[in-house]
């Protein structure tokens, strides 16, 4: 693939929130995930795991867990002050329940040598600052993000529409229980996918000049 074709692939992909009621070949899902796992990852540990959900009952349980958290959040004092926006959010947040496939992404704990050394001295305030800084750029989260990015591009190339969701993480414990996620893994993202049944909108995109700073 030349750079022009790759650029087109990246620019043409859109987040999709409406799908046809049509089964997706498992081999395409597997291949897309495999392509994702070739992304750069911290220490070469590949700390992620992918739960491919096609069972409608499990999808419904995941949606119910998310809905319960949304309803709870919607009753908080600050939510009442923004009732119109919250009502719209509640209406739109569960679209993923109509997807024929959900891919839940989890990550395991990855401690580098530096992490192990630092965590042994957390009583030192300077060490705690370093640990906090490292957590803002967690290697395991970045590894999962890189894998998801490549997976989404592969899905688009297969003619499948998908969207990257982190909102369902608000029901993290419930979803982990539904999926049987081991205790050493954390649920971090949900990817609904299927054959597109909408004309995706082109969102506003910042100019490259706004996003680059050269220090020459």
Domain of residue 54 covers: 16-108+139-194
Q: Does any domain span residue 6?
A: no
Give the pLDDT confidence score for residue 147 in this predicted structure.
Answer: 98
Nearest to 75 by CA among 64, 63, 86, 59: 86
Residue 199 counted as domain residue? no
Number of domains in the chain: 1
- Answer yes or no: are the C-beta atoms of 29 and 173 closer than 8 Å: no
Q: What is the chain's pLDDT, residue by residue, as a tens digit (216 residues)? A: 799 999 999 999 999 999 999 999 999 999 999 999 999 998 899 999 999 999 999 999 999 999 999 999 988 888 878 878 888 888 789 999 999 999 999 999 877 888 889 888 888 989 899 888 888 888 899 999 999 999 999 999 999 999 999 999 999 999 999 999 999 999 999 999 999 999 888 778 899 999 999 999
To the question of pTM greater than 0.75 for the whole model, the response is: yes
The two beta strands, 101-108 and 161-162, are unpaired
| Contacts for 5 with CB less than 8 Å, ≥ 6 apart | none
Q: Give yes or no for a contact between 92 and 67, defined as CB atoms under 8 angstroms apart.
A: no
Q: Is residue 95 part of a domain?
A: yes
Q: Which CATH number does the domain housing residue 104 bear?
A: 3.40.109.10
Give a yes or no: residue 71 inside a domain: yes
pLDDT of residue 64: 97
Residue 70 belongs to some domain of the structure = yes
Asked, for residue 62, whether it belongs to a domain, the answer is yes
- Eight-class DSSP state of 102: E
The alpha carbon of residue 54 and the mean position of all alpha carbons in its chain are separated, in whole angstroms, by 17
């Amino acid at each position: 693939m030349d750079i022009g074709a790759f650029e087109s692939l990246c620019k043409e992909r859109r987040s999709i929130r409406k799908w046809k009621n049509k089964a997706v070949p498992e081999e395409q899902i597997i291949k897309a995930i495999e392509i994702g796992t070739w992304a750069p990852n911290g220490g070469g540990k590949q700390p992620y795991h992918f739960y491919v959900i096609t069972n409608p009952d499990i999808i419904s349980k995941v949606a119910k867990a998310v809905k319960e958290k949304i309803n709870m959040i919607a009753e908080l004092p600050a939510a009442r002050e923004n009732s119109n926006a919250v009502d719209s959010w509640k209406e739109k947040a569960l679209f993923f329940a109509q997807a024929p496939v959900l891919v839940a992404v989890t990550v395991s704990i990855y401690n580098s040598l530096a992490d192990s050394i630092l965590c042994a001295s957390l009583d030192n305030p300077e060490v705690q600052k370093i640990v906090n800084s490292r957590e803002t750029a967690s290697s395991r989260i970045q590894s999962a993000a890189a894998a998801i990015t490549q997976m989404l591009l592969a899905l688009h190339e297969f003619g499948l529409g998908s969207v990257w969701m982190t909102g369902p993480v608000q029901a993290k414990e419930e979803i982990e229980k539904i999926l049987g996620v081991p205790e050493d893994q954390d649920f971090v993202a949900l990817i609904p996918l299927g054959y597109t049944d909408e004309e995706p909108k082109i969102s506003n995109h910042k100019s490259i000049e706004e996003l680059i700073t050269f220090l020459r």
